[in-house]
Structures are given as structure tokens and as C-alpha cells.
């Protein structure tokens, strides 16, 4: 165990923890302006979409446009299945199975 690594991990931990902790500590439901509440209401759907689509449509570092990968093709039936069934467990299992099959075939 090297001490310089412990120091590095501790510093990394601190700068990761603070953004996670500050809003939970200071933001309460009371006293927030309505436009901000509206904005926060839309943040989850925006984040999920912002996380998902670049990974489905691009790859590498720097990112390159990669349409029609197995991941994107599998996403279509998986998304429709989620819409129809609203089952998290079913969607995860189906997605994995389809991706596994797609990787073998394509």
C-alpha cells in the first residue's frame, strides 16, 4: 500500500463526494423558486437520455459516430418491450439475451 496512492484516492474521493453531498445537504423542498422545481422535475429524464444516446450512437475516445451497432439495434426492441410491459426485470433480461444473440450473429 503506497501512501501517495492513498492520498490520491482520498482527494479523488473528496472531489467526488462534495457534489453528491452539497445539494442533499442544502436543498430542501421549502423555499425553492417554482421555475427551479420545474427544472429539477425535468432533470432526471434529461440525464437518462443524455447518458444513454451517446453510448448507443458513438464509441471510442474521442467519440466517433457509430450507427447500427448491435447495442443500438438491440435497444429498439428492448425499448418497445419496456414501453409495453413496464417491467424492469423483464427489460434487463430481454436486453441481455438479445445483446448476447446479436453479438453472436452480427
Partner 1 sequence: MDELGKFSPEIKHILARGIKASWPICLGYIPIGLAFGVLAQKAGLSPLEIGLMSLFVFAGSSQFIAVSMMGSGAGFLAIVLTTFSVNLRHLLMSSSLARYLGHPGRRWVSLFAYGVTDESFAVNLTKFLEGDWHWREALVLNHTANLAWIGSTVLGGVGGRFIPEGAFGIDYALTAMFLCLLVFQLRGKLFVLTAILSGVFSVVLALRIPGNSHIVIASMLSAALGVLLKRGHLRIRKSQSKAGAASVSNCTHSERDRYEK
Q: Least Å distance between CB 78 and partner 1?
A: 5
In whole angstroms, how far apart are CA 58 and each of 27, 54, 88, 101?
Answer: 35, 5, 25, 21
Residues found in the chain: 106
Q: Which is nearer to partner 1, 68 or 83 (CB)?
A: 83
Q: Least Å distance between CB 68 and partner 1?
A: 14
Helix (H) or strand (E) run with residue 64 in it: strand 64-65
Q: Least Å distance between CB 9 and partner 1?
A: 4
CA distance 106 to 99: 10
Amino acid at each position: 500500500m503506497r501512501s501517495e496512492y492513498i492520498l490520491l484516492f482520498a482527494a479523488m474521493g473528496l472531489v467526488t463526494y462534495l457534489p453528491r453531498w452539497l445539494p442533499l445537504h442544502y436543498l430542501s423542498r421549502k423555499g425553492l423558486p417554482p421555475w427551479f422545481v420545474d427544472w429539477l422535475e425535468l432533470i432526471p429524464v434529461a440525464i437518462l437520455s443524455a447518458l444513454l444516446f451517446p453510448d448507443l450512437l458513438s464509441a471510442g475516445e474521442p467519440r466517433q459516430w457509430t450507427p447500427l451497432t448491435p447495442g443500438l439495434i438491440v435497444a429498439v426492441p428492448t425499448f418497445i418491450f419496456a414501453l409495453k410491459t413496464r417491467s424492469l426485470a423483464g427489460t434487463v433480461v430481454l436486453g441481455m439475451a438479445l445483446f448476447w444473440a446479436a453479438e453472436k450473429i452480427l
